[in-house]
Amino acid sequence: MPELPEVETIARGLARRIIGRTVERVRIGLPKMAVAPEDLVFAKALVGERIERIGRRGKYVVMELQSGRGLVTSLRMTGRLIVQRDRALAPHPYTHVALDLNDGSRLCFADSRQFGRMRLVGPGERWDAALGTEPLSLDFTPEAFIGMLCGRPTPIKVFLLDQRRIAGIGNIYACEALWEARIRPDRPAKSLGKPAIRRLHPAIVGVLQRAIRLRGTTVDDYVDAEGLRGGFQNKLAVYGRNGKPCKRCGRKVVRTVLAQRGTWWCRGCQK
DNA sequence: CCGCCGCCCTGCTTGC
DNA sequence: TGCAAGCAGGGCGGCG
């Protein structure tokens, strides 16, 4: 599941390959996957656009176009953005939107589960107004984090997954950061004291940075813009490690459910 | 504003 | 071995 480090890796890979290219043709296999403002037709509006910049906001890949419009992609769980050098090749499996570019390459938006969306946004449109702080930005200070948690009864893990507070953390990195900070996932956010918050803050930043360095985590599905798997799955301490020994204290990692999501943690050293 | 729930989908796992 | 049922999960809209 692409979270911040995976989306960052995808965006960097796309930037190397398709910045400066122009969209020559758009093919849409599944119309619901390609959303445009009401007065525009997605495919028509995209043809002729040059891709100027590529970045990331939370878990969204953002491509800035020559007209000032943006092409914003949410990959959800199984979405992929893959560049094929040669569009004579068969499209990547489950491709629902394909952009043919003027150098003969093709950008495939593929998604076996069809949960992802590619959305065209207008110049200056505040499409990300509901998204919270970028955890790798200077805005995300320990003090800001303390302020966010203040008075909140929500379990800390559920809080970390709430994109309106901090943007980009998903299930994998929420579990890993809480393990690193030695905090139980079900503790009410407001119950964390300053020492715990001061452990959790650098744990969040650190795990995201290390995962980016290793080009993300491939548990089953994720690949980057070139179709390559990540490397951070080998570094996971708890996520998906049900029954295996905790790397810190040796006790078996357990799986519980919190807000309908699998949650892996160690009863021995997360308090 | 806040929190909770159901829905969207299909590949994979589980159980008989 | 084969098949069906159940599960997983991010974001969003609806509801209280």
- Supply A43's token pair: 């495919």
Q: Is residue A72 within 8 Å of A60, Cβ to Cβ?
A: yes
3-state secondary structure of A96: strand
Torsion angle, CA of A150/A151/A156/A162, rounded to 10 degrees?
Answer: -80
Q: What is the C-alpha to C-alpha distance for residues A132 and A129, in angstroms, rounded to an integer? A: 8
A155 is catalytic: no
DSSP assigned state of A92: P
Task: Round the CA-based radius of gyration of chain A to a whole number and report it.
Answer: 20
Fold of A4-121: N-terminal domain of MutM-like DNA repair proteins (3.20.190)
Q: What is the C-alpha to C-alpha distance for residues A214 and A57, in angstroms, rounded to an integer? A: 20
CA dist A100 → A64, A108, A109, A217, A263 (Å)? 17, 9, 11, 29, 40
Interface residues for strand B (CB within 7 Å) are A 32, 94, 112-115, 152-154, 158, 162, 164, 220, 259
- CB neighbours (10 Å) of residue A48? 13
For nucleotide C11, give the residue with the nearest CA to its C1'.
A76
For nucleotide B7, give the residue with the nearest CA to its C1'.
A115
- CB neighbours (10 Å) of residue A228? 15
Q: Is residue A30 within 8 Å of A91, Cβ to Cβ?
A: no
| C1’ B8 / CA A189, Å | 30
| C1’ B15 / CA A27, Å | 42
At what angle are helices A171-180 and A194-213 packed, to 10 degrees? 130
Catalytic residue among A17, A21, A56, A59: A59
Residue A256: exposure state from Cβ atoms within 10 A (0-12, 13-18, ≥19):
middle
Q: What pLDDT is recorded for position A249? A: 94
A8 is catalytic: no
Instruction: Locate the domains of chain A by residue range.
Output: 4-121, 142-266
Nucleotide nearest to A78 (CA to C1'): C9
| C1’ B15 / CA A229, Å | 32
Residue A254: exposure state from Cβ atoms within 10 A (0-12, 13-18, ≥19):
middle
One-letter identity of residue A153: P
Pick the CATH number of A142-266 from 1.20.120.80, 3.40.1350.10, 1.10.8.50, 1.25.40.10: 1.10.8.50
| C1’ B12 / CA A228, Å | 21
Sign of CA dihedral A57, A113, A85, A222: positive
Q: What pLDDT is recorded for position A238? A: 92
| Tens digit of each residue's pLDDT, chain A (271 residues) | 899 999 999 999 999 999 999 999 999 999 999 999 888 999 999 999 999 999 999 999 999 999 999 999 999 989 999 999 998 888 899 999 999 999 999 999 999 999 999 999 999 898 999 999 999 999 999 999 999 999 899 999 999 999 999 999 999 999 999 999 999 999 999 999 999 999 999 999 999 999 999 999 888 788 899 888 888 988 999 998 888 899 999 999 998 888 888 899 999 999 9
| C1’ C11 / CA A269, Å | 32
Q: What pLDDT is recorded for position A257? A: 87
Q: What pLDDT is recorded for position A1? A: 80
Q: What pLDDT is recorded for position A82? A: 94
Q: What pLDDT is recorded for position A231? A: 84
Nucleotide nearest to A259 (CA to C1'): B4
A37 is catalytic: no
